[in-house]
Amino acid sequence: METKRFNQQEITEAAKILRQGGLVAFPSETVYGLGANATLEDAVKQVFIVKGRPSDNPLIVHVENFEQVKQYVDVFHPLTETIVEKFWPGPLTLIFKIKSDALPRVVSAGLSTVSFRMPDHPLTLALIKEVGAPLVGPSANTSGRPSPTQSEHVYHDLNGKIAGILEGGSTTIGVESTVLDISDPTQPPMILRPGAVTKEALEAALKVPILVDQHLVEESQAPRSPGMKYKHYAPKTTVWMVHSDDWQAAFDWATSNHFKIGVLASPTLQERFSNQMTAIYPLTDETVTAAAKGLFAGLRALDEEQVDLIFAPVFSETGLGVAYMNRLKKAANQHFFKP
């Protein structure tokens, strides 16, 4: 199979493939998604096969608008309207209990709930509209590896396995959406996966406490939401997390052991330690926003440099730092450098 690169003028062609049961990757503000028509069971099954994704890991359904969700859901949390008004389109996925047999069971991995998101990307919204049906859209990569934030990442992992990729440039956020469970109208909303829409932002907008599920799922367990596995997003090269006060010790240790080190490096790190780095993925500045945007692309790039270890900076787990550290900890299999 030849994987075609579609541009904005070719959305109609890409949509036709999806209507007929083919797979087309699409851009979003978070990461690239692997699109299949959510109403076609065989197409959705192909997503799991192509990614090598465990069948117990549910998928997110991408919609054009909230009206599309109402085709599949008839009982809503009382906060739903406010949440949708304030955060859609955007990097927030909402879990609803769906009508019986409203979507193929493979979409939900057999659960009674389904995750929905309205992405904030004009090309993908136009694609969904042209298809006339919602699209499942897990990250368009080999399962367990760093998520794709550029179309080139998708092509690297899935060339020859899918029909096409809708080109949308680099993603702007770089980590997957926040997943908020509002499937039980009698319970407070609960974050199952952190993302760019933070607990603080939700609480400020909704004026209610937001719960956070801290449970990490082992490989043998079935998750309630994508992104809950204990180890995930990992390159082949071992990743270690480094606290800001430990960089000197980390580089001295690596040098004394003659290890080749790749680094997700801020401008300050590049200035201080460039002579001790074998390979560098430059972050644009010192902020967690830059680190989150560059995380997956950096892990992928450094994985190609034949280094022994990848060092990545630790950030405070507040705001976007919660989502960044959630992904980094899984990529590093929870391993911090210890002086």
Question: CA 250, CA 255: separation in Å to the nearest integer?
Answer: 9
Q: List, for residues 9-25, the tens digit of each pLDDT value.
A: 999 999 999 999 999 99
Residue 214 has a pLDDT of 75
> For 135-149, how does the pLDDT look when each residue is reduced to its tens digit (9 = 90+)?
999 999 998 899 999
The average confidence (pLDDT) of the chain is 95
Which positions make up the binding site for L-threonine? 30, 62, 117, 177
Q: 217 pLDDT exceeds 60?
A: no
Name the amino acid, one letter, at 333.
N
| Distance between CA atoms of residues 334 and 189, nearest Å | 27
Q: How far is CA 267 from the centre of its chain?
A: 26
Residues annotated as binding site?
A: 30, 53, 57, 62, 113, 117, 139, 147, 177, 193, 233
- Give the whole-angstrom CA distance, residue 160 versus residue 2: 5
pLDDT of 338 strictly over 70: yes
Q: How far apart are CA 191 and CA 203, in angstroms?
A: 11
pLDDT for 215: 65
Q: H/E/C letters for each residue in 275-288?
A: HHCCEEEECCCCCH
3-state DSSP assignment of residue 339: coil
Summarize the confidence of residues 55-72 as an average pLDDT.
95
Task: Catalogue all structural domains in the chain, each as residue range(s) with its CATH number.
Answer: 4-212 (3.90.870.10), 239-331 (3.40.50.11030)
Residues that constitute the known binding site for ATP: 53, 57, 113, 139, 147, 193, 233
Unique residue bearing structure tokens 């932002």: 201
Dihedral angle at the C-alpha atoms of 189, 190, 196, 198, nearest 10 degrees?
70
d(Cα 202, Cα 197) in Å, to the nearest integer? Answer: 7
User: What tens digit of pLDDT does each residue of 97-118 get?
Assistant: 999 999 999 999 999 999 999 9
- Neighbouring residues of 86: CB distance < 8 A, sequence distance ≥ 6: 205
